[in-house]
Amino acid sequence: QVLRVYKAAVQQTLDILFLPEGREFLTSTDAVSRDSADRTVIVWDFQSAAKISNQIFHERYTCPSLTLHPKESVFVAQTNGNYMALFSAQRPYRINKKKRYEGHKVEGFAVGCEFSPDGALLVTGSSDGKVFFYNYHTGRIIRTLSAHKEACVSAIFHPVLPSLLATCDWAGEIKIWQ
């Protein structure tokens, strides 16, 4: 049974992320044009289905992946501009203009990103088949792993065994790393 329907009036929705406590959630969309980047990331009120904000990300890149920090009130948006942007997960949902996670390549792929269970690392795939590990606090790359021959579209930590990492590529290959 459908409880609510939310209509963004844009093209496709790329990702959904519930914020802590579940009263609000984010969507990323493929609504970027040459003149405007509004509606790229939309904040929704869960109860009323109203848009709270569609102006939190002003750059002209789509964001194929959103991920919430496990301990702090922040989230990251993977951008097709070859960087991950850090945002506050509380109103007014501002971008942190001083911290970016750069070095990996997205190049139009829906590359995912995720924080380690302890929140110290941020991991992402890359269109060149690599996996990048970033120090969450400094934004610096601390390790790269040549993981796949095709674009690495996801890297995710095991929920119970945090020393294990699963990666997958554009061609469908999945690898588990320790």
The residue assigned the tokens 């951008």 is: 79
Domain 13-177 superfamily per CATH: YVTN repeat-like/Quinoprotein amine dehydrogenase (2.130.10.10)
The residue type of 53 is S
The pLDDT value recorded for residue 34 is 57
Walking along the chain (178 residues) 10 residues at a time, the average pLDDT comes out as 80 89 90 60 91 83 93 95 95 92 93 95 97 97 97 94 94 96
Pick from 77, 173, 85, 164: which is nearest to 129 by CA?
Answer: 173
Q: Sign of the C-alpha dihedral, residues 117, 121, 127, 130?
A: negative
The residues spanned by each domain of the chain are: 13-177
The pLDDT value recorded for residue 38 is 56
- What values do phi and psi take at 149, rounded to 5? -80, -30
Pick from 104, 145, 138: which is nearest to 120 by CA?
Answer: 138
**CB of 121 within 8 A of CB of 143?**
no
- Would you list the DSSP string of 75-121? EEEEETTTEEEEEESSTT--EEEEEEEES---TTS---EEE-TTSSE
The pLDDT value recorded for residue 56 is 84
